[in-house]
Amino acid sequence: MDKFQVKTLEIKEARELSRKSGAKFVWLGQPVRISLTKALGINADQLLEFGPEEIVAMPDAKLKILNNYIFVCYHGITSAAVVKFLKEKKGVEGYSLKGGITAIVGENY
């Protein structure tokens, strides 16, 4: 088993984790036409937006604030790669939203 296996969450699990622990959602994609907060069922203060390249360039001290956050992209591929990068290279834990935003709203973003 890969010691850096990516942890994924279904949307219900992600919302519950956020509610219980205060974990924020991190959108990794380009701006979209839909309301991400509405689609995810969260408040605006629970959502951060970063490009993957911004995360890679962040100083380690700033990356620590992303610990145990839930990363979201279009299909779950970029978020899984970011979560794996954070764990392997920086020791920061995180979760990838399984299937990304399309698992929730389809391809209508």
Q: Rounded CA gap, 29 and 27, in Å?
A: 6
Q: What domains does the chain contain, in order, with CATH numbers?
A: 7-105 (3.40.250.10)
> What pLDDT does 106 receive?
87
Give average pLDDT by consecutive 10-residue segment, the chain, 109 residues: 79 96 95 88 94 94 94 96 95 96 83
> What pLDDT does 3 receive?
62
Q: E strand or H helix at 105, and its extent?
A: helix 102-105
> What pLDDT does 1 receive?
42
**Residues in contact with 41: Cβ distance below 8 Å, sequence separation at least 6, in sequence order:** 11, 15
